[in-house]
Structure 1
Amino acid sequence: MKVSKSEFVEILLRENECTIEVQTNSSVKMNKKGNPLKDSNVTKQQSFEAIFGRNYEKMVNESASNNDICKEGEQVFKSQKLPYGEWVEGGVDRVIKHTNKEGKEKFYIRCYNPIYKSTEYYVNGLKATKEEEETIKSFIPNKKSESQSQKEIGLEKEHQVSVNNIDFDNIVEINVNGIVYKID
């Protein structure tokens, strides 16, 4: 079902907690120095499942309780302010609205603990060869893979809640409670 961004925001605000299935297509940011693909258009297509509609703070505190860091129901973790944008009204832990320096609005869906089914890289529109894929991976900057604030309360990386904010513009399609959406 094709929907506009504003329609999709409204749909997400009505949804309860669920597992979503997402297909994305996004540009790959790579280091340029010494990169033979620096002048190429490199993209990646990913397919994954993730949790949508849960409260981040509650999830982290549940993980802390499950790992004997605190008692059940005890709150040892407090989430911080968003690093960019703001929550859409009525959409805390669901939808982020960000206006960039040029005044362009972008929307992001917040999801947790993604399980990646597939990742494919493309160079100038063609599926990357094994050699190109290795080059791409070697020039992708290291991302922070664990949450410092979750680590500070004693959660090891494997027990941390992983946060993923997906730009609406990168979503090819998304399945929410059995309905597949394509965003215009």
Structure 2
Amino acid sequence: MAATATLSPLLQTLTLRRVPNELPTSFQPRASRPSAPTTTSTVAAIPSRRRLLLLIPVALTIGERPSMAEDIPLFGLRRGLRKAEEKAEEIVREGFEAADKGLQTAERGIETAEKGIVAAERGIETAEKEIETAVSFDGLAQAGAVAGAEVLGVLVATSIVNGILGLETQKS
């Protein structure tokens, strides 16, 4: 019992006490047989109203509460980290949007270049046909005219591609 005097009221309320398993002498029936040896058993002590009154605030303080430390400037690291994460997410989102716009612009440029190349090829084919019909030379002259037309077509296609890519680099 001396050990429980040094314990806190909460622990005193929650501790188990050893209580003798016999009735007080005033309640003992008078029997002709000898009484059995007394045994002690461990029973949970029922706390009084005062002890229960102490347990209510303890139970309330034990419950989980949201931390208010982020409002203190010294401990506001969590709030700062949250703001930094939001800014980083926004920057990443803007980067993805810019990359998507860049890809769309590059796709449009490539499509335009492909259309220009197809048009140049048609022009070369048309020029070859006109040259074949207009000039009916022997095989060597015809080969020279075709080579010249192809060189002209390559020059036209190259200038078209350089013009498109030149505009792209100036925009960026």
Bin of the TM-score, shorter chain as denominator length: under 0.3
Structure richer in helix, relative to its length: 2
Query: Normalised by the size of structure 2, how large is the TM-score?
Result: 0.23
**Bigger relative contact order, structure 1 or 2 (CA pairs below 8 A, ≥6 apart):** 1
Q: Specify which structure has the higher proportion of strand.
A: 1
**TM-score, with normalisation over the residues of structure 1?**
0.22
